[in-house]
Each structure stands twice: as structure tokens, then as C-alpha cells.
Amino acid sequence: MIEREATVVKNAGSHFVLSELPCWKPFPAVLRGKARLDRGSSTNPVAVGDKVRYCIENELIVPDEKNPAVITGILPRNNYLIRRSTNLSRQSHVIAANLDQAVIAVTLLFPEIKLPFLDRILVTCEVYKIPAVIALNKVDLYRDYEGIGEFESAYEKAGYKVVRTSARTGEGIDELRRLCKGKLNLFSGESGVGKSSLIKALDPNLDPKIGKISMAHLQGKHTTSLYEMYPLNCGGYVIDTPGLRGFGLVDLEKEEISKYFPEMLRYADNCRFVPCTHTHEPGCAIKKALEEGLISESRYSSYLGMLEEDTKFR
């Protein structure tokens, strides 16, 4: 038996595709034995981006579908993005691991944005120390919509880079490509926001699945069913993910939540009482910053929603 290390570049349930990055030569693999049981309550012990140990019986044999490599262990993760996927679920799902950056694709319209959903992803990125960029996509469809400036202001105050993009017209694609160059990038977001279209715009050689919007409900249809990594011709990699319809927080105490809102963290030390929930206490610096417009009302509303939820997730 010969043991080597590689990175998971595709997750198809019980079957995987690996590559010894930075060399891009994907080959099939399966997960057997103890490695399957080592990730606690997670529904997927191995995620795209994981670095793993694998073995092959003979180095002269190239792994194929009939003779796949066998994953024998998962190396420690630098970080990962995790969520609870369904209401009332106690299990978690790791979306991807060892990320340099998360690109959260959103649209203000077509489909209409759900700010609490976006804020849950951003909070999770903060928890696991994953830098995040917001790609405000399909701006060609609502360029004159008055909510654009308000949205950008709210998230730029929080410290996030917001890039106006249009996969159809090419607007913002060069800037997004520059931000992604040389990094392992996760593209995530709600169904129908155009993640796969953005990836194809970044690198026309790629062919991730692209879906259409259901006009009956102005919601996206699930088109990407697998988690898959692609190499970018500008350098770096991108992970395409299925469109999400829910994002529940995992293992985060209510007292900790405000620490993962960067704009709230700036003022929290000035609160009169410690700890402070930033809801009803007198002398709360967060509430004062809210009144002065230094923190957006929508972000604060998302924070209150996270405090109130126990078993219900958006």
C-alpha cells in the first residue's frame, strides 16, 4: 500500500474526486472505515477542500472508477463553513473546508434578497475566520432600484467588500476575478442568485450548471446538486455549491453573536453593562450607534432574530 495526500475537489455523497493540488489531475476515491465516523454530528465527514490521506495498492496503477483510491484519513482543517440545513435538525453540514475566501452571491431582486439569510452566512464566516466578499449580482436588472445604495452602505459600514456584478453584461467581473485570483474561493448563496453564471463569467472555460428563475415565485431552482471545485485560468480555485434555502447557525451561544457583527464589535466595549445583550440595557453603545446611523437597522434586526431563535432557522 502506498499512502499520499490530496485535496477533495468533488463530493458526490459516498464517492469523491481528489487531486494533488496544485497539480490538477483529478481521480476517483471512496471513503471507508474509521474516517467515516470521526466528524461527530456532521452529515458529511469529508467536504470539498478537505486535505486527506489516501492509499492505492500499486503506484503503477492510476485510480479509476473500477479501482478508486481509498481515503484513509482527514487532515486538520484550517477553517470551514458549516450550517444547520433544516428546521429542527440537530445535525450539521460542512459546506467546504480550508477556504481563503467566501464569495456570497446575492440579488436584491429576481429573487428578492433575504437579509437574515445573508447575515447568518456572514456571521458563520466571522466565527470560522473566513474573509467574505459580497457579489451583488444581476445589477443590470435593477440598476435604478433605490435600495442598492442602502444595501451597499449597510455592508460596507460592517467592513465587507461589495462588488456590483452582472454575469450577463460582464459588469464587475474583472474586479471579482482580481479578488479571487490565487485563492481557494467558495461561491455560495440562495438558489437563483447566479452563482454558477458568475463562475462561468470568471472563466468561460468552465461549465458549471446554470439554472433559470421560476417566474411563478421568483425563486431559483436547484441546479447545482454537487459540491465541486474548479481551477481558474487566472490562478486559484473556485468551489460551486448547491443553492441554499436555509442557513442555521451551529454551536453559537446567544451571548457570543454580537461579537461576530464587526460593526457592533467596534462599539461594544463602550456599553455601560458587561455583558450587554444590546436590546434593553441602559447605556448601550450599540443602540446609540444604531440611533446615529453607524449600524444599519437591517443588520440589527438580523441580530435580534438570531437572539430569538432556538430551533427555527431561515
pLDDT at 21 over 50: yes
Q: What is the pLDDT of residue 265?
A: 94
Helix (H, G, I), strand (E, B) or coil at 187: strand
The residue ranking higher by pLDDT, 107 or 250, is 107
pLDDT at 310 over 50: no
Q: What is the pLDDT of residue 247?
A: 73
DSSP structure string for 1-26: -EEEEEEEEEE-SSEEEEE-TTS---
Q: Do domains 2-74 and 80-240 have the same CATH topology?
A: no
Per-residue pLDDT band at 85 (split at 50, 70, 90): low
Per-residue pLDDT band at 33 (split at 50, 70, 90): low
pLDDT at 246 over 90: no
Residue 182: how many CA atoms within 13 Å on its side-chain side? 2
Specify the CATH class of 254-308 in words: mainly alpha
Per-residue pLDDT band at 3 (split at 50, 70, 90): confident
Question: Residue 88, Cβ neighbours under 10 Å: how many?
Answer: 9
Q: Compute the distance between CA of residue 43 and CA of residue 18 in angstroms, rounded to an integer.
A: 20
Per-residue pLDDT band at 245 (split at 50, 70, 90): low
For the chain, what is the mean pLDDT? 86
Specify the amino acid at residue 249.
Answer: L
Q: What is the pLDDT of residue 314?
A: 39
pLDDT at 94 over 60: yes
Q: Which residues of 276-288 are buried (b: 16+ CB within 10 A; e: fewer)?
A: bbbeeeeebbbbe
From 42-46, 92-96, 126-130, the region with the lowest mean pLDDT: 42-46
Q: Compute the distance between CA of residue 248 and CA of residue 83 in angstroms, rounded to an integer.
A: 5
pLDDT, tens digit (0-9, with 9 covering 90-100), for 156-215: 999 999 999 999 999 999 999 999 999 999 999 988 999 999 999 999 999 775 444 333
Q: Compute the distance between CA of residue 92 and CA of residue 136 in angstroms, rounded to an integer.
A: 27
pLDDT at 60 over 60: yes
Specify the CATH class of 80-240 in words: alpha beta
Beta-carbon contacts of 50 under 8 Å, excluding residues fewer than 6 positions away, are: 7, 8, 74, 75, 77, 97, 98
Q: Compute the distance between CA of residue 249 and CA of residue 310 in angstroms, rounded to an integer.
A: 10
Enter the DSSP assignment of 62.
P
Span 48-63, mean pLDDT? 85
Task: Please list the alpha-helical segments (H only) found in 47-160.
Answer: 115-127, 147-157
Span 297-309, mean pLDDT? 92
Per-residue pLDDT band at 250 (split at 50, 70, 90): confident
What's the CATH code, domain 2-74? 2.40.50.140
Percent of the chain with pLDDT over 70: 86
Residue 238: phi and psi, rounded to 5, are -135, 140
Beta-carbon contacts of 149 under 8 Å, excluding residues fewer than 6 positions away, are: none
Span 59-78, mean pLDDT? 87
Beta bridge partners of 220: 213
Q: Give the global pTM.
A: 0.86
Span 38-65, mean pLDDT? 80
The domain ranges of the chain are: 2-74, 80-240, 254-308
Helix (H, G, I), strand (E, B) or coil at 304: helix
pLDDT at 18 over 90: yes
DSSP structure string for 155-178: HHHTT-EEEE--TTT-TTHHHHHH
Question: Residue 26, Cβ neighbours under 10 Å: how many?
Answer: 18
Q: What is the pLDDT of residue 108?
A: 95
